[in-house]
Amino acid sequence: MSDPVVDRALAHEHGLSDEEWERILDILGRAPTYPELGVFSVMWSEHCSYKSSKTLLQTLPTEAPWVVEGPGENAGAVDVGDGLAAVFKIESHNHPSYVEPHAGAATGVGGILRDIFTMGARPLASLNSLRFGPLDDPHQRFLVRGVVAGIADYGNCFGCATVGGEVTFHPRYRANILVNAMNVGIAQIDGIFRAKATGLGNPVIYVGSRTGRDGIHGASLLASSEFDEHTEEMRPTVQVGDPFTEKLLLEACLEAFQTGAIVGIQDMGAAGLTCSSFEMAAAAGTGIEMHLDRVPQREEGLTPYELLLSESQERMLLVAEKGREAELARIFDKWDVDFAVVGEVTNDGCMTVYWKGEPVVAIPIDPVSKNSPVYERPRHAPADLAERQKLDLTELDPPADLSAVLLDMLASPNLCSRRWVYEQYDQLVQSATVIRPGGDAAVVRIPGTRRALALSTDCNPRYCSLDPYLGAMHAVAEAARNVAVTGARPLAVTNCLNFGSPERPESMWEFAESVRGMADACRLLETPVVSGNVSFYNETSGEGAILPTPTIGMLGLVDDLDHVLRAEFQGPGDAIVLLGETFDEIGGSEYLSVHYGLERGSPPRLDLPAERQLHTLLRTAAGESLLRSAHDLSDGGLATAVAECAIVSGTGCDLGPIPAGRRPDLWLFSESATRALVTCAEADLEALLALASRLGVPAERAGRTGGDRIRIGDAIDVALGEAEAAWADTLPESMDA
């Protein structure tokens, strides 16, 4: 079958604009071939080129003395001591997971794992951030089951522990769920590999699974456009994953790295062979000559267009030292992984692709990759924003029964136990897990050391909808705080920025404000952004866009495993101490949503210098063994946090009365930032309060652990068993509905 006629109309079908079509004609001096049109369509897609976000992303802080590798490579890396680096990244697989939840989520995990071991790191731990519509919708329950099973099946079979993350529910995700996957691995600092095609005449080598027709146009059409009535027709663009093949590919690559024969390597992810080859050549300032008929294929009759655009999983493109092909081939053959020399590095700055001896692609590298289109999109705030930010607390009648309110809060889908989700994941494989899922942050041991990594994913989309600048700052601050309450020092950030169409000024404004807030928070907290991903077009015709969701993946370092803190109470008889100040702040809160059915107001204020001092206090107190436990106060406020500590530990508590003059419900369920609930032995209370005073962190004794009830003054008195039932049963009962 011959290729179709390439013209402006066909370019439109490939997602290219009139301006981009004219630009292609100028670059080539002619009309492109059909395979060349495919190349331009994927390389200039929003997903691959970042054409609407690039200029804003350049405002993020990316440097610090401990940063080994910043944005631009497959993943970021930070120094964690002893010549080791933590390599980490978070990425989205949103649209594929809505279209085909099991396969979409599974290949999202597979893709992020490859990003990590492409850098020369062995994957150590995975996290995920998941957003769905309400659970009373049967289709949402289908999506939840499929996504969770896909994450579990791939991670469990591959052999990488899934140790943390978040799951939330909101109507704005009903027609466009979010599935963000994060992974961290460990590498030798001097053994990190980069995606560069260097060395004239060096062989370009294809390794991994054979190429099929799955995933074609996944980047350009599925990931770079909004959903419409044709969504279900996109199933063929979802890749099919094989975790067992990926495990073999991992081991083969890590062994090959030890030979010193590999000079560059890139995962074949979005846009497959096209993106990996163009990016490697662009990074090195070289060119590549490639022969598509040498590519291992699993289907009959694949065309050059299909081979270039396929997103079949578990594949890598590497460049090796010339003359060492046989040495590498033996390694990949031992691991039963396909290996084929498909081309060589040139010095002409062009991508020249042959099919059975005939040229089918001849494109200069830089105009397609380095100098791809960049757009300054129009942006303005949503017209109803000022109205949504209004909240008069005097118009809200206080509830009569605060114990009942607490039970309602604990049973909320956004606050209840996530055990139904994370019990499906292997949390312990590789024996590095110190704190399992369910706490503020996961903690994993750095193999061969007494140090550990603390890992968290965080974002409050309601905050970001009401004030994207402040909401993004909160996402960074809470992620850092969640890491700090384990006793870790927050080190660096990876982000996954999920938004609606950049062609809508409201979405573009939300994105710009979120990036501005993230930049300011990361700068003040000294947590540079070292990797990440932008996911636009998360909206559906007739349904609107998702809530702006700039998810933060935070990595922190614990210097000594003996000083790791857990969230739950450690037993009866300890003093409970409240760190930080509580204000009447319920704008965008879970309490306002659960009890009053409202989503409005402004997010809580945020004092970032005070936030840093709180982190310093937590880390210092942990290092001096003054603390027995520590828990972040955020969603649901103080009452919910106290209940969580009591439920998980099986130890009740008795807190003092509501401060005089304060409205009880606002004090109990306020989501004021920069707070933590800690416990200490009675003998250490005076030293803890003195340390807090020296560091300028407000601290007061709030109560004592013990008993089988949760008591807070005369406002709340709930049996521990009743609280646990409310908290533990929501997800299982909802999923069984």
Residues 162 and 126 sit within 8 Å (Cβ to Cβ) = yes
CA angle 560, 564, 568 (to 5 degrees): 175
Residues 223 and 47 sit within 8 Å (Cβ to Cβ) = yes
Q: Which of 93, 102, 474, 631 is catalytic?
A: 93
**What 3-state DSSP class applies to 389?**
coil
The predicted structure's pLDDT at residue 222: 54
d(CA 212, CA 296): 9
Question: Taking Cα atoms as reference points, which of 457, 476, 554, 458 lies closest to residue 515?
Answer: 476
Which residues are CB-neighbours of 638 under 8 A, at least 6 positions away?
578, 582, 667, 668, 669, 670, 675, 677
d(CA 486, CA 180): 23
Report how far apart, in Å, the C-alpha atoms of 715 and of each of 11, 121, 200, 401, 658 are.
Answer: 65, 52, 75, 8, 8
139 is catalytic: no
Give me the residues of the chain with pLDDT under 50, please.
Answer: none
Q: At how many degrees (to 10) do helices 468-484 and 505-525 cross?
A: 40
Provide the token pair at 704: 């004592």
Q: Which of 12, 14, 47, 291 is catalytic?
A: 47
Beta pairing class for 629-632 and 122-132: unpaired
Buried b (16+ CB within 10 A) or exposed e, 276-296: bbbbbbbbbebbbbbbbeebb
595 is catalytic: no
Element (H, E) at 676: strand 676-680
The predicted structure's pLDDT at residue 239: 74
The predicted structure's pLDDT at residue 218: 56
Other beta carbons within 10 Å of 454: 30
Q: What topology is assigned to 194-371 in CATH?
A: Phosphoribosyl-aminoimidazole Synthetase; Chain A, domain 2 (3.90.650)
Q: For 529-587, what is each residue's pLDDT tens digit? A: 999 999 999 999 878 999 999 999 999 999 999 999 999 999 999 999 999 999 999 99
pTM: 0.96
Provide the token pair at 249: 């590919």
The predicted structure's pLDDT at residue 214: 83
Q: Domain spans of the chain?
A: 194-371
